[in-house]
Amino acid sequence: MNNYTFLQDIGGRTEQQDSLSIFTLEKQVFMVVADGMGGHQGGALASATLLNIAENHFLLNNREAQNPNAFFSAIVEETKERLKILSKGRNIDPNTTVVFALIKDNILYYAYIGDSRLYIFEKKGKLLFRTRDDSLPEMLFKNNQIKEEEIATHPQQNVLTKSIGVNSTDTLTFGEYKLNRDKEYRIMLASDGLWAMINDEELYKELFSEHSVELSSKKLLSMAKYRGGKEGDNISIATIDIEKRGYPIKHFIGGFLFVLSIALGLYFYNSSSITDSSTIENNHSNSIEKEEPYPNKKDAIPMNMNQNWTTG
């Protein structure tokens, strides 16, 4: 089992509206981070509802995860329906972002709406991948109006173009990433309360420091809280380290059996050759011993026939 942890902090806010967790089942790992929006109680309701539904789908209806995209979509659609019921008659507009990561069979499947992010770091390759935000600053970056490093500090950084809510028709963005068994990874999911405060280089250095994944996550959370100060957002971070795993023995069994069969064949061939040679030598030695006289010439056995009997 890989080491993992998930942590959150209220930051400078009066209410925690983030929800997150990591679930494991057999050889699968399911990571979820949701950042709620929608005023007092609305955001907390939205993110908590989504997380509860995600847990039920993964642990109780795990066969759905055989099709990751459909699995992620089913969670979002049920969340929308549940929020309609829960918000009825209440003066709230519950919305949330979400980022999912499902790791199984050496593939990381992901999906997201909003600006909660997935990062994939590799020990020697540094940042390999991150999701692209559904936000106004991200749109400005794509249109070459701002630089990427300005996204986190843009005055409209929290203005989203997509979210999950009662009346939302927004759809998930899907993807997958193959994890090489010979490489070492750190997978991180985070709300904007964390990534807006810490740049990619700082994230990489801490996640691959000598500290455990739990301690590294605590340090990153503390750093984000300190930099956010009294006005800081809720902070959520979920991380997992994936070490080098090599290849299962089954990948080598065929080759091993082939080499073993060749070695055994050569062994028995050489043993047989030595035995035959020894027998021939003995027969040849016996054949030149002094012959016993036969009482009758016609009863004598020819020399070459005696050799054929013994070496056959």
Mean pLDDT, the chain, as a whole number?
86
Considering the domain architecture, whether residues 139 and 269 belong to the same structural domain is answered as: no
Dihedral (CA of 123, 129, 131, 137) sign? positive
- What pLDDT is attached to residue 268? 61
Which of 191, 211, 246 terminates a domain? The answer is 246
- What pLDDT is attached to residue 303? 41
Closest CA to 238 of 202, 191, 196, 201: 191
Query: Is 237 within 8 Å of 186 (Cβ atoms)?
Result: no
Considering the domain architecture, whether residues 228 and 272 belong to the same structural domain is answered as: no
Considering the domain architecture, whether residues 236 and 284 belong to the same structural domain is answered as: no
pLDDT in tens, 252-293: 455 555 556 676 666 665 655 555 544 434 444 443 344 444
- What pLDDT is attached to residue 246? 73
Is residue 252, in this structure, part of any structural domain at all? no
* Residue span of the structural domain in which 279 resides: 259-311
Considering the domain architecture, whether residues 141 and 190 belong to the same structural domain is answered as: yes
301 has pLDDT over 50: no
Is residue 254, in this structure, part of any structural domain at all? no
Token digits of residue 255: 């080759």
- Per-residue confidence at 38, pLDDT binned at 50, 70, 90? confident
Q: Alpha-carbon distance 136 to 302, whole Å?
A: 107
- What pLDDT is attached to residue 45? 97
Q: Alpha-carbon distance 137 to 87, whole Å?
A: 30
- What pLDDT is attached to residue 264? 67
Q: Alpha-carbon distance 201 to 80, whole Å?
A: 36
DSSP state of 62: G
- What is the residue whose two structure tokens read 């979820």? 32
Taking each helix axis from N to C terminus, what angle separates 42-60 and 68-87, rounded to the nearest 10 degrees? 140
Is residue 253, in this structure, part of any structural domain at all? no
| Total domain count, the chain | 2
Considering the domain architecture, whether residues 84 and 198 belong to the same structural domain is answered as: yes
Is residue 251, in this structure, part of any structural domain at all? no
Average pLDDT over residues 229-241: 97
